[in-house]
Structure 1
């Protein structure tokens, strides 16, 4: 009997309970390890071994912890989310332990860690992007908003760094009123409040300003070989409750060009929205699997299992685009088990016993083999 492949997922989002399910339905037996700082993360219960990991480590010291964890638990394949860039930089150190990393090369991760740098690279490559401006000061923000409003669009902003929709706000010139206190909290913020905050800021804000883009949002999940050659991709459209799959070239072709030009190996995600004209433009690039990746099982794709095959040097069997089952669907909540409260993971206990965790969550040099 073939020994299970030992796969580690570090501090990941709750939806990856479904990622683990897909690994288990692949062609190889797997033994899944998951770590998190939240003892109530359902990913810990979904794994074969769920354990707590240290909190507050710097990126450099987290990599040392990860190397120790891989050595202690004989990890064959590591899919990092937290500190992905720092881990990718040390890829050869992990390979020396016999651990393959499922993440893009460090240059691709670094490029798209900054949304501003990413947009500049896409513009230079001739890929479709929205009108965007970087605003570090109040004057730059006002100029960007006026330019966008002159096109008939409403301006919005988001930080130049961050994941998902963190920090996204829609700018409004309407004064604050009691009407804003009724109903649910929304993403709107008064322009004059942001201007005032920038005027009193001690440093540059590093904000991106762009038009509010229309739906549907289309999220293209991609699988590429380690060199960045696209092997499979499918889009998921989202508008209200209704979801659907798409393989339209206006989404898949820019995603292919992006992945291959910038060498975004393994699993990634390219998000699109639409300008007033209907033109699809790249909204965001994630150099990690998306939280909704598991939904592709409905159209016949198991990209987590295929990525595992690539990491092990095999060629995954993938359906062609014509063989995908396209259609609409929706999402409903589901209950997931959690583990009983636990004090610490075995690897953390080992670090704690040797007294190698200093105040402030840093590992001393002696802990870095």
Structure 2
């Protein structure tokens, strides 16, 4: 589906944001704001596998991406079996004189076709510059091993694929606070703190874990029982990680980067419902070499957490913009605009030291909003 406005595809360049996880709407709104202040015109294109008018309203043109799984029975997307998603996007991007494409959630599929996009003059932003790097980022166990290899302070992790392996790991590491999470996944799906009841002066209540599920805590024996007897696990094995639970402050870091170089970044951490936005140098001392090691490219997000000694340790890289990248606008530095104004050729290459000076630390509270979707 296309809804182009008056667009001169031959002379006006365009930026394309493909389907993302949760920040596509905010980023498109930032680009529209940038467009109103720019002396150089450009067009903004969005695409998604679902019909998402609340996203598309911030685009000049939009498309439904090919998909066999639109997640909505009322939609009739182009079947991916007929044309691959990357090919569909590439063909339309050529027609719209697209200069920059941020791939969002399907980066590996696009990355495998980097040469084709480069040949069309399109700056492809997948989060890295090779399929191998993206696969290493997505596989949290491989990611942590790679960090260890390059002396990046990272959380420890031990992989298990069955109950016997988990039992052996618990016997070896059960003397410390632990947690579990899938080898691959997003939005903390499958993450649980394990409560062994061994913590000094702390009692545990299994029903409390079921009642206050936002604490993401479960009794270790009950997790073992659920995991061992899970029909889902028997039918579709899910590689998991057992990890030490780090007790310190957790940070989310939004990063604009190019071929492993950090061009701009903003750190944030939560206390209750409040996001604290700024630039923590101790956190960035870990993030900057991490981005270099993985050759990150585009707009990515990093999670770190402090151990008992206060050392920030890397938890993961997400090769896509975070859901909270829109918060950066309140700091005086809109990272979406910083990145795209450079990649579109509107401004010179960002300098991290200059960006740091422009960041005004602030506190942000997110609020729920709504939009009406016409029939």
TM exceeding 0.5: yes
Mapped pair 1:83 → 2:106: yes
* Unaligned stretches of 5+ residues in structure 1: 342-369
Instruction: Show CA shifts across 1:33-71 (max 9, x none).
Output: 212233246212222223433322379922222223323
* Residue number in structure 2 paired with 1:230: 262
CA distance in 2, matches of 1:308, 1:87: 19
Task: Measure, in 2, the Cα distance between the counterparts of 1:143 and 1:277.
Answer: 27
Q: Contact between 2:129 and 2:295, CA under 8 Å: does it hold in 1?
A: yes
Task: Output one character per residue of 1:133-179: Cα deviation in whole Å (capped at 9) or x when no partner.
Answer: 1111212212333444313x2x2111111223122122235798555
In 1: Cα distance, 2:245 partner to 2:53 partner: 33
Determine the structure 2 residue equivalent to 1:261. Answer: 293
**Map of 2:318 onto structure 1:** 286
Residue from 112, 124, 147 that aligns with 1:122: 147
1:249 counterpart residue number? 281
Partner residue in 2 for 1:221: 254
Matched, 1:169 2:201: no
Equivalent residues of 1:59, 1:83 under 8 A apart: no
1:184 is displaced (CA, Å) by: 5.5
Classify 1:337/1:75 alpha carbon distance in 2 versus 1 (closer, same or farther; 3 Å). farther
- Counterpart contact for 1:14–1:41, Cα < 8 Å: no
CA deviations 1:158-214 (Å, max 9, x no partner) are 111122312212223579855555456652344345434554636753111112223
The number of residues matched between the two structures is: 338
**2: CA distance, partners of 1:29 / 1:147:** 61
Determine helix, strand or coil for the equivalent of 1:252: helix
2:304–2:312 CA contact under 8 A, matched in 1: yes
Alignment-derived partner of residue 60 in structure 2: 48
Q: CA deviation at 1:240?
A: 1.3
Contact 2:22–2:322 (CA<8 Å) still a contact in 1?
no
Partners in 1 of 2:85 and 2:254 — Cα distance?
Answer: 28
**Residue aligning to 1:150:** 175
Q: What's the CA shift for 1:117?
A: 0.7
Instruction: Measure the CA separation in 2 of the matches of 1:180 and 1:168.
Output: 13
Question: Structure 1 pair 41/144, CA: closer, same or farther in 2 (3 Å)?
Answer: farther
Alpha-carbon distance in 2 for matches of 1:192, 1:80 = 41
TM-score, length-scaled by structure 1: 0.80
Q: Which is further off, 83-92 or 229-238?
A: 229-238
- Aligned equivalents of 2:343 and 2:307: distance in 1? 38
* Residues in 1 aligned to 2:196 and 2:360: alpha-carbon distance in whole angstroms: 42
Task: Report the Cα offset of residue 15 of structure 1.
Answer: 3.0
